[in-house]
Amino acid sequence: MPVKFDPRNKEVLLSPARRKSLDMYRLLSLIPILPHHAIADIGCGPGFFTVPLAKYLWDGKLFAVDIKQEMLDAAKEAVDSERLSNVEFVKSTERRLPLKKDSLDGSVVAFVIQEAAGRESLLKEIRRCMRTPGWAVILEWHKKKSKEGPPVQQRIKDTDMMNLLKKTGFRVSTKRDLNNQQYMIVART
């Protein structure tokens, strides 16, 4: 079974070093998000992506989804401190998203698939909730050793991730490196 990120280390996900290596201005410019979209931040953790995404969605809605209540509580604290009112917090289970079919324009799935117990079923579940046309952005670690990040054995090669996306009903649109350790895939429904 893949190792899950330990919520006790959640501050690492909000560190200044991470903000430098994953610049949100740059990331947002690469995502096909529009201000009226309904999107889900799947495996939101303590809200690193949740807050900037919710700010961008000035006329839209964000579902912050996680299997761990501690992560949802931390994300809520971050969202509340910015006085954002367009975020709904949703507790999911490993293979099931309690979101309606065809309810999302977009999904952000950052560093989650490699630690999901059922990679294919989670992606299928995300696909079920998405409208056509829609977009999904997957961020993951390259499958090579690095000081930080999950064990290399559970990381997913970018080419394998693209195949997984195709298998679960997505069309791969672009793949790029975010830095020398992490990549991003934009997929379409």
Ligand X SMILES: C[S@@+](CC[C@H](N)C(=O)[O-])C[C@H]1O[C@@H](n2cnc3c(N)ncnc32)[C@H](O)[C@@H]1O
Q: What is the DSSP string of 122-164?
A: HHHHHHHHEEEEEEEEEEEE-SS--SSSS-GGG---HHHHHHH
Choice between 39 and 65, CB closer to ligand X:
65
Choice between 122 and 137, CB closer to ligand X:
122
Asked whether the beta carbons of 33 and 53 are under 8 A apart, the reply is yes
State which amino acid sits at residue 174.
T
Given 6, 94, 102, 148, the residue binding ligand X (CB under 6 A): 94
Asked whether the beta carbons of 136 and 173 are under 8 A apart, the reply is no
Told to check if 106 binds ligand X by CB under 6 A, we report no
Told to check if 107 binds ligand X by CB under 6 A, we report no
Stretch that binds ligand X, among 30-38, 67-75, 81-89, 159-167 (CB under 6 A): 67-75
State which amino acid sits at residue 138.
I
Given 57, 64, 66, 87, the residue binding ligand X (CB under 6 A): 66
Residues 26-45 that bind ligand X (CB under 6 A): 42-45
What's the CA gap between 66 and 75, in Å, rounded? Answer: 10
The tokens for 157 are: 């090669």
Given 38, 51, 53, 71, the residue binding ligand X (CB under 6 A): 71
Peptide linkage before 133 cis (omega within 30 of 0): yes
Asked whether the beta carbons of 41 and 76 are under 8 A apart, the reply is no
Stretch that binds ligand X, among 23-31, 51-59, 64-72, 180-188 (CB under 6 A): 64-72
Given 61, 84, 115, 175, the residue binding ligand X (CB under 6 A): 115
Binding site for ligand X (CB under 6 A): 4-5, 13, 42-45, 48-49, 65-68, 71, 92, 94, 110-112, 115-116, 122
